[in-house]
């Protein structure tokens, strides 16, 4: 429906305001924006933010409470797995020894000595590799902790910057609203 060639549509903003197709904001005659107490607007919007923050912090606190239990359960599982693997190796080699003793298989002492020496060398290399790997893993975890601290400081700086922007923007916006309400 048009009036003078202009199409008019009402787009609701909230219960008391709407935007016309001409892009102007109009207020409901029953309650104007300047009649709504500022403390009510501020309280309603901060209530949602405070509730969301508090609920998020509660979830984080719950995770922090159970994290030691998970860490202990994982540690216990690793310990049990290591013990089971140790028992498996003991049993397997004991069974192998019994089989060779019962079959009375002749062995060349020089070959046995060579295999034992090479096995010891391989084992020593594996132990050194584990030591190197463990040190690298610990260094990586320490670096991750340090990066988390740096990230936390960056978040603090970004939050301060954003807060300053929001303060400047809301100051500007409040001045524009005052001019708008004076004009009407």
Q: Write the pLDDT tens digit of every residue in 37-89.
A: 555 556 777 889 999 999 999 999 999 999 999 999 999 999 999 999 999 99
Can you give the pTM of this predicted structure? 0.54
Residue 173 lies in a domain: no
Q: Work out whether strand 11-14 and strand 6-7 pair parallel, antiparallel, or are unpaired.
A: unpaired
Domain count, the chain: 3
Shared domain check, 31 and 48: no
Pick the last residue of a domain from 56, 82, 106.
106
Residue 148 lies in a domain: yes
Q: How far apart, in whole angstroms, are the C-alpha atoms of residue 10 and residue 20? A: 5
Shared domain check, 18 and 66: no
- How far separated are the first and last CA of the chain, in Å rounded? 26
Residue 63 lies in a domain: yes
Domain that holds residue 120: 111-164
Shared domain check, 158 and 120: yes
């Amino acid at each position: 429906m048009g009036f003078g060639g202009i199409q008019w549509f009402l787009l609701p903003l909230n219960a008391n305001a709407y935007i016309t197709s001409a892009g102007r904001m109009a207020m409901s005659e029953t309650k104007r924006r300047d009649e709504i107490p500022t403390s009510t607007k501020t309280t309603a919007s901060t209530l949602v933010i405070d509730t969301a923050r508090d609920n998020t912090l509660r979830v984080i606190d719950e995770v922090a409470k159970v994290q030691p239990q998970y860490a202990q359960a994982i540690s216990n599982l690793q310990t049990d797995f290591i013990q089971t693997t140790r028992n498996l190796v003991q049993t397997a080699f004991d069974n192998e020894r019994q089989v060779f003793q019962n079959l009375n298989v002749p062995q060349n002492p020089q070959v046995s000595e060579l295999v034992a020496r090479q096995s010891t060398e391989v084992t020593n290399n594996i132990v050194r590799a584990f030591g190197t790997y463990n040190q690298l893993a610990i260094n990586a975890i320490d670096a991750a902790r340090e990066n988390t601290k740096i990230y936390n400081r960056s978040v603090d700086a970004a939050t301060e910057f954003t807060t300053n922007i929001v303060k400047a923007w809301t100051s500007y916006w409040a001045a524009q609203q005052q001019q708008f309400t004076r004009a009407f």
